[in-house]
Every structure is written in C-alpha cells, then in structure tokens.
Amino acid sequence: MTIEPQEFVEHIARLVRTIPEDPEITRAADLFTKSLTAGGIIQAFGSGHSEAVAMEIAGRAGGLVPTNRLALRDIVRYGDAPRSELDRYDLERDPSIARTILDLAPVQPHDLFVIISNSGVNGVVVELAILVKERGHDLIAITSRAHGDASTSRHPSGRKLTDLADVVLDNHAPYGDAILPLPGGGATGAVSTITSALLAQLVVTRTVRNLLEAGEVPPVYLSANVPEGDAHNLGLEARYAGRIRRGA
C-alpha cells in the first residue's frame, strides 16, 4: 500500500468547494450578528486540536474583536486548580471541569457560544453545552457528524454536542478524522482542523457582511504586524474592557 498525499489534497479541495454551500453557515452568521448587535461577545471553546479553531474565532487578524477564547487551562490561569490538573489524560472527559471554565469566564447575557469538537461526545464539551443552554445562550457547534454519529457519548446524560446546539456546522471529517489508510490499520491525513477553520472563517466573514449591510462599522482586527495594527486593535479592545481575554 502506498500513501498518496495528492489524494489528501484532492479530498480537501472537494470539501472546500462544497462546504460553503451549507445553509447552516448563514444561520450561524445571523446568530453572530444578533449577539454582536445586542452588545454580546462570541465565546469560543475547543480542547485539544479544536482549540486551534477557537483561535480562528478569537483574537485573529481580520477577525472580530468582541470575541473570547475559553480553554481547559483557564482552571489554572484564572482559577485555583493546581498546574498538575492539566497533565490529566482524561481532563476533557471530566464534566465537572465545564462549570469551572464557565464560571471563571466574563460572560454576559447576550453572549453567544461556539463549541468546537470533532467527536462532540467528551464530558467537558457536552456539559459546557448543557450549561450554556441552561443559562439561555445561543450555541453553535463545529463538529463532525460522521464521527459523532458513530461514537458513544462520554457524558452521564448520554447526550452529544449535536443534541444541544442551535446550529450544527459539519466539518465533514470522517470517523477517526484521517482519510489515507495505512498498512495494518489506522490512517493519516487529518481533515477536521482544515475544514473547521474554513467554517469559522466563513461565519466570521458573513457576519462582517451582515454588519456592513446594516450600516455598521465591523469591529475587525488588523494584523499586529502592520504599522498601524497595535493602535487600531487596542482602541477597539478598549470598548470591551474586562470582557475579552487575550492570554496565551
């Protein structure tokens, strides 16, 4: 058996052409717009590699300023959990961590949540989704329906992220994420980070379009690596003082 990287490129290219046709992207952008217009913040959470997609949403050049990234390490950075907690292999499977993350976050009523999880079944993800909905927030999921449908929930309720979200954006990653089979089992060539980042950017850009069409000036970051970037960004961030965090 020979691995053909070009097959991976062609597979991704097909997804890049078809994913933008998903009407759920427009629904997600409309929820973003509703939240921002009401003075809300976009709260994004992903653990493991999914945190890379949360970084596409919060604190990104060309992205929206009123955004905040939640992470597992918040229990140490902003809470009183010992650093050793982050070494637990099963941390993202522990539902109790979700409440701590949420309670430590600067959340207000009009904030919208985006939870990114390829499987959508781990305890933290599902518990966070449950809490977000109990507290009355809109919730968008970026996930793989194929992987989630083939998986058993690791939450005591038996629920999955897709059962709780108002809008589900399917990244079209297969069960197991990678697509090029290896001799003896397994596969290489993971899909989810690429397609989930595409979905995140599509929602952001459509939200910016919505704001422009409403006659508003979208609060969008410049790159910090252009001469006027810092002054522009710090001026916008000041509008949301105490509500957005830009830690590592």
pLDDT score for 247: 72
Q: What is the pLDDT of residues 113-166, one digit of tens each?
A: 999 999 999 999 999 999 999 999 999 999 999 999 999 999 999 999 999 999
Per-residue pLDDT tens over the stretch 18-72 = 999 999 999 999 999 999 999 999 999 999 999 999 999 999 999 999 999 999 9
Band of the pLDDT at 1, cuts 50, 70, 90? low
Q: What letter would DSSP give residue 20?
A: G
Residues 95, 155: Cα–Cα separation, whole Å: 7
How far, in whole angstroms, is CA 100 from its chain's centroid? 18
In Å, how far are 69, 72, 196, 203, 242 from 51, measured between CA atoms? 9, 10, 11, 17, 22
The pTM of this model reads: 0.96
Torsion of CA 15, 117, 153, 32, to 10 degrees: -90
Q: What is the pLDDT of residue 3?
A: 85
The predicted-structure confidence for 85-95, as pLDDT tens digits, reads as follows 999 999 999 99
Most distant CA pair in the chain: distance in Å?
58
